[in-house]
Structure 1
């Protein structure tokens, strides 16, 4: 039973996340997203979701097929990307949704489905199950996987690999979302970016990158299983 727990957990986590993304296609918001340059790839939520899914699925394969052990370092570095992103996404999204929903939910006035945010415009109303699958499941699943099944990262990895990956991803995402905005009449996927001048957006990108790196260091320090 113990040998089945790890792949079963990872497969279930991946299925929940994939289900959340697939069900977006049933909402009116999907048509708006698809009409924008960059589509779903503009959203850090979606990028983080797919990296988390890839991390989980690779973990399933490694749990079942021992001859794939040469891919274990790849999963470790995927995890270093996925975990900080999930923390950034969850912490920013839920904080803004609860206290400042107009900063995280775009104002497109079309009829839509009920949402976990009663103040959100209709097309961006996400059913709570989808909201949780997109904005909570990755962080919860990755944290559980880390403490239950994975070994602690070395100090060298935390000191060098994590900041390097976070800087690289911050540069990639900020460049991509800024480029998409030039194609979308200056509109960003998140309202708090749309209303922010360039200097403030730069601080937001940098702050998110720092949050990701610091959060991983904190989580790793709480891990008791040695490398």
Structure 2
């Protein structure tokens, strides 16, 4: 398949692209397998581990890379386009998860995990850093540039943030406790503020990834074009 003119390396392709997607899938599946052996009250509660934004993001990252691998195997431009669309959600979300998690851990790790359930470094890295790294590499090296508008990125981020807040509150109504200790500390309006700030951070993550793409791939004027174009990945980019 011909390489996209604004894409650094060939993808879909049965070379580096496939190797990166296989490595990412192996990492994500290893994290899910760890959950099967991690005995916590969450596993038996309503919503299970999917009360955690981390696990929702991990599932979306896995879907993105599975579709990417299928595109590599079939050299299908349609599947490649689907992978790129999924990436618009999954990559900024994983970057947000990385920023929030390690930022809160720098303040107090007990804000995100009770002391008795804190993770060793390897699974911690697998959940809270590896997905963001894999998705960023896939974007920078193996994808055409995003053309999502800044306001559209904000709308998408706010929708995801408040959908997750609704989900967390619904699980709380069933279980009587929140998945993250920080939610117990905050009042309702403070949680609203946290989710609003998170949406803004995710929007900023999208814009930062677009800017970084332009820098890495040497596309002059891309930052301005990417912000002003309509939402989505253009048909020629797929």
Cα distance in 1 between the residues matched to 2:109 and 2:59? 24
Deviation at 1:97, TM superposition (A): 1.8
Structure-2 residue corresponding to 1:92:
100
Residues 33 and 40, structure 1, Cα contact 8 Å, conserved in 2: yes
Structure-2 residue corresponding to 1:136:
129
Q: Among 1, 14, 37, which residue is 1:26 paired with?
A: 37
Residues 92 and 202, structure 2, Cα contact 8 Å, conserved in 1: yes
Asked which structure has the greater RCO (Cα within 8 Å, sep 6+), the reply is 2
Q: Among 88, 101, 104, which residue is 2:109 paired with?
A: 101
Residues 98 and 129, structure 2, Cα contact 8 Å, conserved in 1: yes
Deviations 1:166-224 (A, max 9, x none): 12211211111111111121x11101111111000001111111101111111101213
Q: Among 31, 46, 52, which residue is 1:37 paired with?
A: 46
Deviation at 1:161, TM superposition (A): 4.1
Structure-2 residue corresponding to 1:72:
80
Cα distance in 2 between the residues matched to 1:55 and 1:78? 6
Deviations 1:51-89 (A, max 9, x none): 0111111111112212x3223332222111101111111
Alignment of 1:142-221 (within 5 A): 142-154=135-147, 157-185=148-176, 187-221=177-211
Cα distance in 2 between the residues matched to 1:175 and 1:74? 27
The answer to which of 49-58 and 16-25 deviates more is: 16-25
SS at structure 2 position matched to 1:37: coil
Cα distance in 2 between the residues matched to 1:35 and 1:172? 22
SS at structure 2 position matched to 1:211: helix
Deviations 1:21-47 (A, max 9, x none): 211222232xx1122211111110000
Q: Among 16, 20, 27, which residue is 2:27 paired with?
A: 16
Cα distance in 2 between the residues matched to 1:60 and 1:160? 31
Q: Among 1, 5, 9, which residue is 2:16 paired with?
A: 5
Structure-2 residue corresponding to 1:83:
91
Residues 20 and 129, structure 1, Cα contact 8 Å, conserved in 2: no
Residues 88 and 146, structure 2, Cα contact 8 Å, conserved in 1: no
Moved over 2 A (4+): 71-74, 158-165, 224-227
Could you say what the CA RMSD is over the residues aligned between the two structures, in angstroms?
1.8
SS at structure 1 position matched to 2:189: helix
Cα distance in 1 between the residues matched to 2:108 and 2:43? 25
- TM, length-normalised to structure 2: 0.81
Q: Which runs of 5+ in 2 are unaligned?
A: 1-9, 220-236
